[in-house]
Copies of this chain bind each other. A is one copy, B any other.
Amino acid sequence: MGPQPNIATSAFLIGDPARAAMLVALLDGRAMPAGELAQAAGVTAQTASSHLAKLLAGGLVKVEAEGRHRYYRLGGANVAMALEHLASIAPSEPVRRKVLTLEARQLRFARCCYDHLAGRLGVAVTCVLQERGFLEPTANKQFTVTSAGAAWFGGLGLDITKIPASRRGLARQCLDWTERRHHVAGPLGVKFTDLLCAKGWIRRAPSSRVVEVTHEGWKKFEQEFGLYECDLKAESRI
């Protein structure tokens, strides 16, 4: 069309309910075959195929053939970010007053966003790290690790200097679409989440984005972060 970047075309692609449902289903970064996406969107396989072809052409998804399946995944982190930001302006109206399923509540409480911790727990941890002066929000949606923070992470077994920063930095502010606040993404977020798993504080559910906190984990979260299970769960009505 014109010289303007066609922001409209991307938005148009997301603007269809069926396509939006597929994209949301892919939000956690997993790849899904076309058939499952069709089911997730509530349309026939033909229709889903048509939609996926358009999303592919628009760069919103990538595809990988595997035998007779074709696995689709989001086109990139920027796509996921755009989707989460769109969700943040969605009217999320009283219509949603309906009771959330157990998994939905678990997702809101703690989940993986790509490979880092998100949800109420992820945001709470991020807040504590900022309150204690270990992380500082800086321009360009980044977090800076303070010297105190580097020491603290080191005590936990995470050598900050050994984490390679990606092109988008070491620690990014990622908007949490349920909490509408930021949590820590980027290489630091990933390594930190891996560490919590390795220590047995949290456990990732086998085939979903849900993250569970172990009994041992709650003791540690209380001890290290001052986060109490009852407080966090009280607000999320789990």
Contacts and interface: CB of A to CB of B under 8 A. Distances in A.
Interface stretch (A11-19, A131-139, A159-167, A214-222): A11-19
A238 to B, nearest CB: 17
Interface of A: 1-17, 19-21, 23-24, 40-42, 58-60, 75-76, 78-79, 81-83, 85-93, 95-96, 104, 175
29 contacts: A2-B17, A2-B21, A2-B24, A4-B96, A5-B90, A5-B92, A5-B95, A5-B96, A6-B20, A6-B90, A7-B23, A7-B83, A8-B14, A8-B15, A8-B16, A8-B21, A9-B91, A10-B89, A10-B91, A12-B12, A12-B16, A59-B89, A75-B89, A78-B89, A79-B89, A81-B85, A82-B85, A82-B86, A85-B85
* 8 closest A-B pairs by CB: A12-B15, A8-B20, A11-B14, A15-B15, A82-B85, A2-B21, A11-B15, A5-B92
A2 B9 CA distance: 23
The CB with the most chain B CB atoms within 10 A, among A4, A23, A60, is that of A4
A181 to B, nearest CB: 12
A60 B14 CA distance: 16
Contact of A10 (B16, B60, B86, B175): B86
Contacts of A24: 2, 4, 7
A89 B76 contact: yes
B11 A11 contact: yes
Contact of A6 (B13, B60, B85, B92): B92
Contacts of A79: 89
B76 A82 contact: no
Contacts of A15: 8-9, 11-15
Contacts of A86: 7, 10-11, 82, 86
Contacts of A21: 2, 4, 8
Contacts of A3: 104
